[in-house]
Amino acid sequence: MQLLRSLVAETFFLAPVVVLTPDQIGHLAEVATNEDFSMPVQDGQRVLFRATRLGDKYPTFDFLVDILGPDHDSRGVFFVQVKGTTRATQASPRIPIAVGADHFNRMVEAPVPTYLVGVDVNRRATYIVAAHRRRTARVSSITREFPLGSDAVKLALHDEVAEYWKANGRTLWNTRFWDV
């Protein structure tokens, strides 16, 4: 999968350097993130995620992502915010992105697991971190420790969200809109 990922990167992202608009950077970042979520793991044998773009009008998040069971049925969901950058350097262990504290804290307060994905659009590399605790300062960078193109990271992410929904899963509730 790593080889495939590098082939995709080579095919689509190592074009001559051009100046991108912020909208282009954002769009590239979202498309790269979607592509990484769509890529199966374990030599193509297991599809873990189904990412659905929420659209520009949806606040705070860019994707709702289902975690999938063996029959591709949804076992839970999480939200993702994507930030792209063209300023990342390979030498640095972190990639620079900018997320305001208020914005980040809105992610943290969502009642489901939430993650921030940073995308080095020049190298078509995506990295994920959890948005799990409030901050007083803005986020200015995230670690490269959790590349979303990695099978191991994807499997760990899938397990983490599955465990969340197993522990906090849907229970029967009393609805006022009873019918079927």
Residues that bind other proteins (CB under 8 A): 4, 7-8, 11-13, 15, 18, 20, 24, 27-28, 31-32, 34-35, 38-40, 43-45, 47, 50, 72
Closest separation in Å from C-beta 120 to other proteins: 14
The CB-of-102 to other proteins minimum distance in angstroms stands at: 29
Query: Cα(47)–Cα(105) distance, rounded to whole angstroms?
Result: 31
The least distance separating other proteins from the CB of residue 31, rounded to whole angstroms, comes to 5
Comparing CB distances to other proteins, the nearer of 131 and 150 is: 150
Least distance from C-beta 171 to other proteins, angstroms? 28
Q: Residue 83 contacts by C-beta under 8 Å, 6 or more apart in sequence?
A: 29, 97, 98, 99, 116, 117, 118, 119
- Of residues 35 and 160, the one with the C-beta less far from other proteins: 35
In the complex with other proteins, the residue whose CB is nearer, 19 or 91, is: 19
| Strand, coil or helix: 50 | strand
Of 131 and 157, nearer to other proteins (C-beta) is: 157
| CA–CA distances in Å: residue 11 to residues 14, 15, 16, 85, 119 | 7, 8, 12, 19, 17
Q: CA 135, CA 18: separation in Å to the nearest integer? A: 35
What values do phi and psi take at 143, rounded to 5? -70, 155
